[in-house]
Structure 1
Amino acid sequence: MAGRSRNTPEHPSAAGGGEPGEGLLPADFDLADLYGARGGGDEDLDDSAVLVPPITLPPDSELVAAALAVPLIAHAVALARWTLPHRPVDEFGDLTDGDREAAARLLGLAPAEGEVPEEAVVEAMRAWALACDLDLVETGTTAEGDHAAIPGPDLEAAEQGDPSVVLGLWLDAAGIMRELAAEADSLAPEGEGEEEDAPEDELSDVEQARDAAADLLDEALQVLYEMTAFAEPGEETVPLGVLAALLVVPEGEEPDEEMLGDITDLMVTLDPMLGDLAELGLLEHRPIDPDLFEEEGEEAEDEEAGARRAAEARAAAAEQEPDEEEAARFGTVRLTPLGQYAVREWLLEQGYDAPLVGDLAEGDAEALLRGITESGNVLPDLELQAWLEDREPEAAARELLAAARGRDVHGPVRRMFCMIAVEELGDPARPAVREVLDDPELSGAARAWLRGRGEDVAAPERAVALWTAVDSFAAVMLTSEGDAGRMRDLVAELPVTDNPASYFGELWRVDHPYTPQVLEIVGELHLDRGVAKEARKAAFRARSQQR
């Protein structure tokens, strides 16, 4: 699974998804009104440095139960057990004609007596093929020269719910279905014959189309993975139009008329592929309502009438916003926990860092603070909560405070998250906090924390107070992610006296790695020109001092 690229207005599948009918399509509505989403943030994403957000997965036992509840998986396991002690097959490993109907009855796809519908046999053979692909069934030749099938070595472990076996089998099945979904999309109706009989250039075209469909499906799954990671519980379902828009509309742009048409085409392309994956429990999928499109064989309208109809549809859409049910007719999709598990495994196979929430909880405080400070795809609050759980508060606070020390470039953020964790621990952390009242790096924050809890603790010395001010400002600066409003508020709160030259004359001498940068930001953002000028002068002096 390659790193996705959401900035793909000319994606092959978006441009070549086929011509939908002229019914009321997503392109006939305003994207924001219909889907409640636009093209994304302002920053440019570099595919070479994809940051995969952390997710929370349910326990293995729940994932195993969900995997075994997938009908196709349950059928494959049942057929493997049915082969005991062995069952005759043909030279291709397929069931004989008589056993095909028996398999359909065994799986409950046909009544115990009477005629077996053809579709029931087809479904039973699909399950048989999957059982063979997963090695739940092994075929070979007996000593007498007959072809036979026997259960594979993993059957018993699968029936007993062994997590590594069951999830491994399900993941293999998901990979097969993922490949088949892309392959089915790449074949045009006239290309359903034997590929071996096609000219070489046509085979090349099919292979390129298959690769493009596979890339598109991978991108869609990764977008769903990211959206699910950040979704509130119960809000993981995504309109198909939102998913398509994120793949079509470049970052920071509004969709134009052409993009809205591409979104519609892409939805039509993705819809059947997502339906295939839903069959294996990787997704929950509501397909596009076929009534939205013209019935086949309906007489085509002339160009002028079609243009008039489209204009009327857009005008009607502009006057009223479609309700949830109407929007859902354009299709929805939800990545299940099993789907999150699969996408994460595929990302890990490709070398991406795809963390789980709580990964840092197993390490010590030093590893925790280093991880949440230096990693770009960590949710600090959740990692802190996971680490603090079941730890003795006083000992945890002591360990965190010790790990927060250091005047390296990450030190300010480490100390910020340390105090957030100490705040979470509350009163039981007091003894550990008192122990650092004389520490030059922690004293300021420690004294402020204790005074906030009503303790009669002296204010820190002037040098410590100034150092702590720079340290705290630097922590916000490093974690504000370019939020100018947040930085302006912080600058406005600086305790600058009526004599800014005196204040900044002290501040630029503070021996802190971020003193120059802090002063430069104050010089850029402070609304008082006199204060800003003194800050810029102090920044120059601080930078000269550090050279």
Structure 2
Amino acid sequence: MDDAAVLVPPVKLPAERELAEQAKAVPMFGYALALARWSAPHREVDEFGDLVEADRAPAARLLGLAPAEGEVPEEAEIEALRAWSLACDLDLVELGTTAEGEHVAVPGPDLEPAEQGDPETVLELWLTAAGIVRELAVEADSVPEEGAGEAGAGEGEEDEDALSEVEEARDEAAELLDEALQVLYETTAFAEPGNETVPLGVLAALLVVPEGEEPSEELLGDITDVMVALDPMLGDLAELGLLDYRPIDPELFDEEDGEEPAVVGEEPLDEEESARFGLVRLTPLGQYGIRQWLLEDGYDAPLVGDLAKGDAAELLRGVCESANVLPEEELRAWTADREPVAAARELLAAARGSDGYGPLRRMLGVSALNLLGPGAEPAAREVMDDPELGGAVRAWLTAQGATDVPVPDRAMALWTVVDTFAAQLLDNGGDAELLGELVADLPVNGDPAGWFGELWRVDHPYTADVLEAIGELHPDRALAKEARKAAFKARSRS
């Protein structure tokens, strides 16, 4: 994966037992298990560990790749040999020699736990298989064109040039595939359920076109080249269940009657026509595999719900301090199946504090009250007079439909304005639309000098920052000026 600093978004994964069942359902992996069992108690192989000629047709029939009777197609035997090779690579079968000098294969120690569905064994074997296929896909893509090499060079120089060319092509293919898988991983993490499928052209564009730019004519050609390069590699990974993949329709790039081959993006395409350019979807197994590779490469690749395993204080602190987190998902995981009143009390207690993350914790605490629903009302009423929480919980209770909630006093109201605004500024720099709404709703009441004169005196660690933000964002120049003056006074006071 790319060495640049990357924030990997958290993903949701099924339980390991479910992932293991999905792995066993992958045909090529299942074939390897079946052939390993077929090797018991032992099976003759050639000196390279491959099935002998006489066993290749029976192996194909065993796997259901050929009819029980009649001639076995060569393609079926080749597929059976590939599955046998995978079984050997995974040590599902072990190779040895008898006392008579015969080469034989016997089932390996991992076969039985894998057949029984032990999640750890199955996933470890599947991940090893996925790594093998990933390497083979890159190798296949990096085979140089026939006749490559520097013309006129000596034989030794030709060999050296050819080797250098293969290594360079392999590195480029590996980098391209890694980048594509990482983009797919991120895209899937943010996708709504059911919308995880990505057109291959979109994936290629994400790899080629700089963010925020429209693809130029030259970039359209680059996108097509990337699609053609990824197509066979993604097809190979689909065999191990990392992807669901619809390959490019080969007719799209055929040149007929002197016409140029198709180029992605030259004209709008309907859904069916777009699908002919390839569709790819990362499976849960694929997410699992890529996450393991990211972890091996030293990346922080969290799972949704990781932060929800502790108490409320750990939850809010983790959400505030983690850059790659989906706050609502963590809050949802934490509040699920908890008793509303007890959970709300714990959250509100954890939300207190005048440290740098205090405003954000309080905003998250109120968001969690929304997830707990009306059942959290008793806990919210208990802190209505709390100087830090009172303003926020009163607003929440009113939004819930309560009609007996007293209006906060002036000091609490002003402090809550600052705290609410500060939370938005801390939340990844703030949502521009929401900040604009907060600015528009400021209760200045026609007396900006008087209102800002009160606000800059509010004893809150973010008072000056909030006033400066209002000064930058407020569309009324006179109000913006008063906010900047108040910010200066707040800075001087502090």
Is residue 368 of structure 2 the alignment partner of residue 412 of structure 1?
no
Partner residue, 1:168: 124
Q: Which amino acid aligns with 1:284?
A: D
Change (3 A) 1:65 1:265: same
Q: Distance in 2 between matches of 1:63 and 1:129?
A: 24
Give the equivalent residue in structure 2 for 1:34: none
Range moving further from structure 2, 358-367 or 535-544: 358-367
Match of 1:2 in 2: 2
Residues 485 and 450 (structure 1), Cα distance of their counterparts in 2 relative to 1, 3 Å cut: closer
Alpha-carbon separation, structure 2, partners of 1:458 and 1:114: 87
Amino acid at match of 1:204: S
Once the two structures are superposed, the pairs formed by residues 521-540 of structure 1 within 5 Å of their partners are 521-540=469-488
Change (3 A) 1:191 1:350: farther
SS in 1 for 2:47: coil
Residue 239 of structure 1 and its aligned partner are, at CA, apart by 1.0
Give the superposition deviation at 1:515.
0.7
**1:518 corresponds to 2:466:** yes
- 8 Å Cα contact 1:2-1:350 kept in structure 2: no
Match of 1:487 in 2: 435
Structure 1 residue matching 2:215: 3-state secondary structure: coil
The residue type paired with residue 10 of structure 2 is P
| One of 78, 95, 106 as aligned partner of 2:34 | 78
- Which of 243, 249, 252 is equivalent to 2:203? 243
The one of 413, 416, 434 aligned to 1:465: 413
Residue 171 of structure 2 aligns with an amino acid whose one-letter code is D
Moved more, 79-88 or 99-108: 99-108
Given candidates 106, 113, 117, the residue that maps to 1:150 is: 106
Q: Which runs of 4+ in 1 moved over 6 A?
A: none
State the AA in 2 paired with 1:112. A
Q: In the alignment, which residue of structure 2 is the partner of 1:93?
A: 49
Partner of 1:267: 227
CA distance in 1, matches of 2:448, 2:83: 78
Read off the aligned partner of 1:184 and give its amino acid letter.
A
CA distance in 1 between partners of 2:361 and 2:139 (Å): 49
User: Residue 162 of structure 2 aligns to which amino acid in structure 1?
Assistant: E
Separation in 1 of the partners of 2:45 and 2:266?
59
The answer to whether the 8 Å contact 2:424/2:431 transfers is no
SS, match of residue 431 in structure 1: helix
CA distance in 2, matches of 1:86, 1:254: 61
Cα deviation, residue 117, structure 1: 2.2
User: What is the alpha-carbon distance in structure 2 between the residues aligned to residue 481 and residue 261 of structure 1?
Assistant: 37
In structure 2, distance between residues paired with 1:191 and 1:396 = 70
Taking the aligned partners of 1:71 and 1:521, their CA distance within structure 2 comes to 58
Partner of residue 153, structure 2: none
1:253 counterpart = 2:253? no
1:380-430 deviations in whole A, cap 9, x for unaligned?
112111111111111100100111011111111110010111122233222
How far apart are the structure 2 equivalents of 1:482 and 1:401? 22
**Aligned positions of 1:312-323 closer than 5 A:** 321-323=268-270
Q: Is the 8 A contact 1:436 1:442 kept in 2?
A: yes
For 1:50-69, what aligned pairs fall within 5 Å after superposition?
50-69=6-25
Q: Structure 2 residue aligned with 1:430, among 367, 374, 377?
A: 377
Q: 1:463 to 1:83 in 2, by over 3 A?
A: same
Q: 1:78 to 1:234 in 2, by over 3 A?
A: same
**CA–CA separation in structure 2 for the residues paired with 1:191 and 1:273:** 23
Cα deviation, residue 258, structure 1: 0.3
Offset from partner CA, 1:220-268 (integer Å, 9 cap, x none) = 1111111111222222111111011111101111111100011111111
Q: Secondary structure of 2:105's partner?
A: strand
Whole-Å Cα distance in 1 between the matches of residues 435 and 279 of structure 2?
39
Which residues of 2 match residues 502-517 of structure 1 at below 5 A?
502-517=450-465
- What is the DSSP-based 3-state SS (H/G/I as helix, E as strand, rest coil) of the residue aligned with 1:232? coil
Q: Paired residue for 2:424? A: 476
Q: 1:220 to 1:325 in 2, by over 3 A?
A: same
Instruction: Flag the 1:480–1:206 CA change in 2: closer, same or farther, 3 A.
Output: closer
Q: Which residue of 2 aligns with 1:44?
A: none
Q: Distance in 2 between matches of 1:131 and 1:87?
A: 13
Question: 1:37 is matched with which residue?
Answer: none
Q: Answer yes or no: is the 8 Å Cα contact 1:480–1:487 preserved in 2.
A: no
Superposition TM-score, scaled by structure 2 size: 0.93
For residues 317 and 219 of structure 1, what CA distance do their matches in structure 2 show? Answer: 25
Q: Which moved more, 1:55-64 or 1:494-503?
A: 55-64
In the alignment, the residues of structure 2 paired with residue 458 and residue 125 of structure 1 have an alpha-carbon distance, to the nearest angstrom, of 78
Contact 1:72 1:127 in 2 (8 A): yes
Q: 73, 80, 84: which is aligned to 1:124?
A: 80
Distance (Å, rounded) in 2 between the aligned partners of 1:447 and 1:294: 67
The normalised TM-score by structure 1 is 0.84
Residue of structure 2 in register with 1:115 after alignment? 71
Counterparts in 2 of 1:485 and 1:386: CA distance versus 1, 3 Å? closer
Q: Matched residues, percent identical?
A: 70
Taking a change above 3 Å as real, the CA distance of residues 338 and 144 of structure 1, as seen in their structure-2 partners, is same
Q: Contact 2:244/2:281 (CA < 8 Å) preserved in 1?
A: yes
- Greater CA drift, 479-488 or 106-115: 479-488
2:137 matched to which residue of 1?
A: 181
2:146 partner SS: helix
Aligned AA for 2:204? A
Deviates more, 1:224-233 or 1:393-402: 224-233
Q: For residues 353-401 of structure 1, what are the alpha-carbon distances to aligned partners after superposition, in whole Å with 9 as ceiling and x for unaligned?
A: 2122222221111111112222122111121111111111111001001
- CA-CA distance at 1:197 after TM superposition: 11
Q: Which residue of 2 aligns with 1:222?
A: 182
Q: Structure 1 residues 191 and 179, CA, compared in 2 at 3 Å: closer, same or farther?
A: farther
The alpha carbon displacement at 1:133 in A equals 0.4
Give the Cα–Cα distance (whole angstroms) in 1 for the partners of residues 435 and 171 of structure 2.
Answer: 46
Sort the Cα spacing of 1:174 and 1:233 in 2 relative to 1 into closer, same or farther, 3 A. same
CA RMSD of aligned residues (A): 2.3
Q: Is the 8 A contact 1:466 1:510 kept in 2?
A: yes
The separation in 1 between residues aligned to 2:214 and 2:126, in whole angstroms, is 40
Secondary structure in 2 matching 1:199: helix
Query: Match of 2:235, as an amino acid?
Result: G
Q: Where does the alignment leave 5 or more consecutive residues of structure 1 unmatched?
A: 4-46
Higher relative CO (CA 8 A, sep ≥ 6), structure 1 or 2? Answer: 1
Q: Which deviates further from its counterpart, 65-74 or 430-439? A: 430-439
